[in-house]
Amino acid sequence: MAAGITGLGVIAGLTLRTADHPGMLPPGTPDPELDLGLRLVCAAAVLITATLAYLTFARRQDEPLAMACLPGLVVTGVVLRHLVVTLPGVTRLQPAARVVPGAGAWVLLVSGIAMTATGLAAAFAVRRAA
C-alpha cells in the first residue's frame, strides 16, 4: 500500500513543475525544469517499485518490497541533485529570475524518501522474522 502511494506521488511529481521562475531567463540559459532523461529515470524507478510490490503480494513475502529502498534512493538522489546543483546554478546566472523549486520537486523528494523508508521498513521486518 505504501509503495503504491509513493509511486503515485512520484507520478504526480513528474507531472508538476519542478522549477518556478517568474522572470525571463537570458538566451542560452538551460531550462531549470527537471530534464526528460531524469524524469524517465524517476518513472523507471516507479515501475521497478510497482513490480517489487506486486511480487511482494504474489509471493506473500516482504523480501521483494525490501528492495524498494533502492529505487527510492534513486528518486531521492535525482531530486536532490536537481535541487542542490541545478537551481542555484541558474540563479547565479540570472538572479532576477528568482528560480525556486516548484511543487513537483518537493512532491518527488517526499515520495522518494517515503519509498526508501518503506523498503527499509520491509527489510527490517524480514530481518526480524528470520
What number is the average pLDDT over the span 82-108?
A: 85
Express as a percent the part of the chain with pLDDT over 70.
98
Q: Report pTM.
A: 0.87
Look at residue 1 and tell me whether its pLDDT is greater than 80.
no
Q: Is residue 116 part of a domain?
A: yes
Count of domains for the chain = 1
CA 49 – CA 64 distance, rounded (Å): 9
Give 78's pLDDT tier (boundaries 50, 70, 90). Answer: very high
Burial of 31 (0-12, 13-18, 19+ CB in 10 A): exposed
Give the cell for residue 5: 502511494
Q: Give residue 93's domain range.
A: 2-17+41-129
CA 9 – CA 1 distance, rounded (Å): 12
What number is the average pLDDT over the span 75-102?
A: 85
Q: Is residue 54 part of a domain?
A: yes
In terms of residues, how long is the chain? 130
Look at residue 53 and tell me whether its pLDDT is greater than 90.
no
Q: Residue 87: phi, psi to the nearest 5? A: -70, -45
Q: What's the distance, Cα to Cα, between the start and end of the chain in Å?
A: 23
| Three-state DSSP class for residue 102 | coil
Rounded (5°) CA angle 11-124-45: 20
Q: Is residue 26 part of a domain?
A: no
What number is the average pLDDT over the span 34-59?
A: 90
Give 130's pLDDT tier (boundaries 50, 70, 90). Answer: low
Q: Is residue 36 part of a domain?
A: no
Q: Is residue 34 part of a domain?
A: no
Q: Is residue 9 part of a domain?
A: yes
